[in-house]
């Protein structure tokens, strides 16, 4: 499971990226479904949204499925404010 941090902003992206990539690429984890939990997310900026889009795209490119657990209001508001209409991201995040 990938648990998004409470603060997914430019100040924390490098640190979080270093933690998340091993979870996606873990060869011991034979599961073809990766769960993303955004229940603790309270702050996100434009780069954070772009990072999530990149992660979702990367997971799909690895031939894995995504299960979105929770649905952060902060994330939905940010996506709407940015005018993102990318179907890859929206199918997982927007109800």
Q: Is pLDDT at 79 greater than 70 in this prediction?
A: yes
Please give the model's pTM, rounded to 2 decimal places: 0.81
Q: How confident is the model at residue 95 (pLDDT cuts 50, 70, 90)?
A: very low
We report the CATH number of the domain holding residue 15 as 3.30.750.24
Q: Is pLDDT at 1 greater than 70 in this prediction?
A: yes
Can you count the helices (H) and strands (E) in the chain? 4, 5
Domain housing 87: 2-93
The tokens of 38 are what? 């955004």
Measured CA to CA, the distance from residue 8 to residue 6 in angstroms comes to 6
Q: What is the pLDDT of residues 3-61, one digit of tens each?
A: 999 999 999 998 898 888 888 887 566 678 889 999 999 999 999 999 998 998 899 88
The tokens of 20 are what? 């998340």
The CA-based dihedral angle spanning residues 48, 79, 66, 53, taken in that order and rounded to the nearest 10 degrees: -50
Number of domains the chain is built from = 1
């Amino acid at each position: 499971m990938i648990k998004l941090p409470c603060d997914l902003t430019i100040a924390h992206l490098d640190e979080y990226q270093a933690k998340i990539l091993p979870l996606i690429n873990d060869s011991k984890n034979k599961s073809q479904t990766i769960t993303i939990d955004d229940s603790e997310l309270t702050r996100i900026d434009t780069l954070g949204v772009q990072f999530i889009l990149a992660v979702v795209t990367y997971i799909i490119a690895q031939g894995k499925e995504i299960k979105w657990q929770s649905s952060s209001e902060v994330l939905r508001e940010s996506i709407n404010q940015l005018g993102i209409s990318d179907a890859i991201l929206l199918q997982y995040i927007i109800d």
